[in-house]
């Protein structure tokens, strides 16, 4: 899963114009930038922030779905959900490793998440209230993530781009898994169909917000576009997502919680009603319904596990000392 | 009866797999957030095959989900060890070691079973259990011979859990198609002794082992676990998921 573009990027940089021009020529020639290459400080900072937010989103994203692992309604669903949430953890690990190539440690990034300094996708600050939420998250949240991440496979920074190729393959599988859950519910009892519609009603607008503010209000996007960290604008991706999703929802017999949603022949796409940006910014700023719980859960896991990590280090040190003494 | 014996095994694997799955997203480090679900998936996968097998042996039209979701705690036949709450990481890893150190030689002995499903499960599970012993065993050693705190926690876990290990070797329902559980004892003792020596742990004497799981006499924790696990399934009778 993935955060809405980049929240609060700072692409300012201090290098000479000549250096910046040479760097830009490499970018324009579609050369991949690798960890040991010289790069503008702003480019590095933007990437650390973006990859960090992305990694945190994967980790925090384990919580809302993990909420249903112990209650999954069949053994098949239980195994699939467990494997799916495990994949998200794997993405987090992969992304932390990609960020580390830029000179920041996983511990530092974890620290920033726990103290509230680092952001993660605000979608995970909503609660999962029924089993249908698990289907909707796979279908729509992972679906939106794929829209955001496919272009990142061509991101100018090599390690991030390569990480995304593998992540996208798994996300695409997750999306199908989510849609399959939704199909079973759509074909199910009236209570199951109601559960599904209720989940769509609650998740639809937050999912659209995952693509970030409208282009006109999206600060920092231009520099990210020039550096080819970002390839499409927020609105372009959101439109693509809606156009792909509408027929899928129709197949399931679902209606969107948006009375203004209608086909626009002229643009060849769907129009949608106004997004509640107040809600978006409220959630981004840490006032989402589950924000406190999510960070508290991550902190608790980290603090409860401190003695385990200390034991592992102490044991490794003892082994090393014993080996030295024996030599 | 083979049905009863297979059901016992299936319950062991589902209950322990469920316990491990409770860690997902809450482990002491990201690597364990991946490893614990991995082990849980091994166990739940084995449980599914065994439930399916049990359901066919029974021939009453039940399936894996009917056996997992529609039996209450008095009908569950799992070992008490498997249902023990996770506790801290020391308890979880020790519980895993105790179970895997039993199942690895058990599946080894079941490779030649006349029952094709059992032999097939054994072929896959024998490799998984070797890995579980390695993973959990290495953690028991790290914690036992780590810091003062980790060593104390590891000793506490042994004191809490060792009383449930005697039940591993009770033959229960038993069947000619399955290995004798009592005969696994020497192999289990040897694995535990080796790891405990490195972990600086003593194998305690247990004057009164806790048993009863095979007769459906469980601790109080299992009912809560099943209540959570079965709630959604039971709230929608007959629904397909």
Q: What is the pLDDT of residue A327?
A: 86
| Mutation site, A55, A69, A75, interface B, largest B CB count within 10 A | A75
| Cross-chain Cβ contact B228/A306 below 8 Å | no
CATH H superfamily, domain B2-235: Ferritin, core subunit, four-helix bundle (1.20.1260.10)
Question: Is A296 at the interface with chain B, CB within 8 A?
Answer: no
Q: Is the pTM here over 0.90, yes or no?
A: yes
DSSP reduced 3-state for A35 = coil
Whole-number Å distance between alpha carbons of A231 and A8? 18
- Listed as own residue / partner, the contacts of B234-238 with beta carbons closer than 8 Å and 24 or more positions apart are B234/B69, B234/B70, B236/A73, B236/A189, B236/A191, B236/A192, B238/A189
- Cβ within 8 Å of B, A 192-221: 192
CA end-to-end distance (rounded Å), chain B: 32
- Cβ within 8 Å of A, B 139-198: 141-143, 145-147, 149-150, 153
| Cross-chain Cβ contact B34/A89 below 8 Å | yes
Question: Is A92 at the interface with chain B, CB within 8 A?
Answer: yes
CA end-to-end distance (rounded Å), chain A: 49
CB B92 within 8 A of CB B86: yes
Which tokens go with B159? 């004191």
A with B: how many residue pairs have Cβ under 8 Å apart?
Answer: 144
Q: What DSSP string runs through chain B?
A: -HHHHHHHHHHHHHHHHHHHHTTTT-SSSHHHHHHHHHHHHHHHHHHHHHHHHHHHHHTSS--HHHHHHS--TTT----HHHHS---SHHHHHHHHHHHHHHHHHHHHHHTT-SSHHHHHHHHHHHHHHHHHHHHHHHHHHHHHTS-HHHHHHHHHHHHHHGGGSGGGG--TT--TTS--SGGGHHHHHHHHHHHHHHHT-PPPP-SS----GGGT---SHHHHHHHHHHHHHHHSTT---
Residues of chain B with Cβ-Cβ distance to A94 below 8 Å are: none
| Cross-chain Cβ contact A310/B24 below 8 Å | no
- Give the CA dihedral B226, B227, B228, B232, nearest 10 degrees: 110
B27 → chain A, closest CA residue: A301
Query: pLDDT by residue for chain A (327 residues), tens digit each?
Result: 444 455 555 555 678 999 999 999 999 999 999 999 999 999 999 999 999 999 999 999 999 999 999 999 999 999 999 999 999 999 999 999 999 999 999 999 999 999 999 999 999 999 999 999 999 999 999 999 999 999 999 999 999 999 999 999 999 999 999 999 999 999 999 999 999 999 999 999 999 999 999 988 876 678 888 899 888 889 999 999 999 999 999 999 999 999 999 999 999 999 999 999 999 999 998 899 999 999 999 999 999 999 999 999 999 999 999 999 998
| Mutation site, B37, B65, B240, interface A, largest A CB count within 10 A | B37
Query: pLDDT by residue for chain B (241 residues), tens digit each?
Result: 899 999 999 999 999 999 999 999 999 999 999 999 999 999 999 999 999 999 999 999 999 999 999 999 999 999 999 999 999 999 999 999 999 999 999 999 999 999 999 999 999 999 999 999 999 999 999 999 999 999 999 999 999 999 999 999 998 777 889 999 999 999 999 999 999 999 999 999 999 999 999 999 999 999 999 999 999 999 999 999 9
CB B105 within 8 A of CB B188: yes
Left, alpha or beta for A30 (phi > 0: left; psi -120 to 50: alpha)?
left
CB A194 within 8 A of CB A129: no
* Interacting residues of B148 by C-beta distance below 8 A, sequence separation 6+: none
| Mutation site, B49, B93, B146, interface A, largest A CB count within 10 A | B146
Whole-number Å distance between alpha carbons of A60 and A296? 11
Whole-number Å distance between alpha carbons of A230 and A234? 10
| Cross-chain Cβ contact A89/B142 below 8 Å | no
Q: What is the pLDDT of residue A144?
A: 96
| Cross-chain Cβ contact B38/A309 below 8 Å | no
Residues of chain A with Cβ-Cβ distance to B141 below 8 Å are: 315
């Amino acid at each position: 899963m993935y955060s809405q573009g980049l929240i609060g990027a700072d692409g300012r940089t201090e290098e000479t114009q000549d250096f910046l021009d040479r760097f830009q020529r490499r970018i324009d020639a579609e050369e991949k930038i690798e960890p040991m290459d010289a790069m503008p400080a702003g480019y590095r900072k933007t990437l650390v922030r973006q990859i960090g937010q992305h990694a945190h989103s994967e980790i925090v994203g384990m919580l809302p779905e993990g909420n249903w692992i112990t209650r999954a309604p069949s053994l098949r669903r239980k195994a699939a959900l467990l494997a799916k949430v495990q994949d998200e953890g794997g993405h987090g690990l992969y992304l932390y490793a990609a960020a580390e190539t830029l000179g920041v440690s996983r511990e530092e990034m974890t620290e920033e998440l726990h103290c509230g300094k680092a952001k993660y996708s605000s979608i995970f600050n909503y609660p999962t209230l029924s089993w249908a939420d698990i289907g909707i998250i796979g279908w729509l949240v992972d679906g939106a993530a794929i829209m955001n991440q496919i272009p990142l496979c061509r991101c100018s920074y090599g390690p991030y781009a390569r990480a995304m190729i593998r992540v996208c393959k798994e996300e695409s599988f997750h999306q199908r898994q989510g849609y399959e859950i939704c199909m079973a519910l759509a074909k199910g009892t009236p209570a199951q169909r109601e559960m599904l519609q209720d989940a769509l009603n609650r998740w639809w607008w937050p999912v659209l917000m995952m693509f970030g503010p409208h282009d006109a209000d999206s600060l920092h996007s231009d520099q990210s576009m020039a550096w080819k960290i970002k390839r499409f604008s927020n609105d372009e991706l959101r439109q693509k997502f809606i156009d792909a999703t509408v027929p899928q929802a129709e197949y399931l017999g679902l209606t969107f919680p948006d009375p203004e949603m209608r086909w626009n022949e002229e643009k060849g796409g769907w129009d949608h009603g106004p997004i509640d940006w107040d809600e978006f910014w409220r959630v981004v700023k840490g006032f989402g319904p589950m924000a406190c719980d999510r960070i508290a859960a991550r902190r608790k896991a980290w603090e409860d596990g401190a003695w385990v990590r200390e034991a592992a280090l102490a044991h490794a040190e003892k082994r090393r000392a014993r080996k030295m003494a024996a030599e | 009866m083979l049905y009863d014996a297979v059901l016992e095994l299936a319950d062991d694997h589902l209950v322990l797999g469920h316990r491990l799955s409770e860690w997902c997203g809450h482990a002491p480090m990201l690597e364990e957030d991946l490893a614990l679900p991995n082990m849980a998936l091994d166990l739940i996968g084995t449980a599914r095959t065994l439930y399916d097998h049990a359901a066919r042996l029974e021939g009453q039209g039940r399936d894996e989900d009917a056996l997992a979701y529609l039996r209450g705690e008095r009908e569950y036949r799992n070992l008490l060890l498997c249902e023990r709450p996770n506790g801290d990481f020391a308890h979880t890893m020790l519980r895993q070691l105790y179970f895997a150190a039993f199942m690895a030689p058990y599946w080894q002995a079941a490779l030649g079973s006349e029952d094709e499903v059992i032999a097939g499960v054994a072929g896959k599970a024998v490799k998984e259990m070797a890995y579980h012993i390695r993973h959990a065993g290495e953690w028991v050693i790290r914690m036992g011979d780590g810091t003062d705190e980790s060593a104390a926690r590891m000793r506490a876990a042994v004191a809490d859990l060792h009383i449930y290990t005697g039940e591993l070797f009770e033959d229960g329902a038993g069947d000619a198609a399955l290995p004798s559980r009592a005969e696994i004892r020497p192999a289990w003792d040897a694995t535990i002794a080796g790891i405990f020596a490195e972990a600086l742990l003593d194998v305690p004497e247990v004057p009164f082992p806790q048993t009863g799981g095979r007769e459906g006499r469980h601790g109080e924790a299992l009912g809560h676990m099943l209540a959570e696990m079965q709630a959604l399934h039971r709230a929608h009778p007959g629904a397909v998921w």
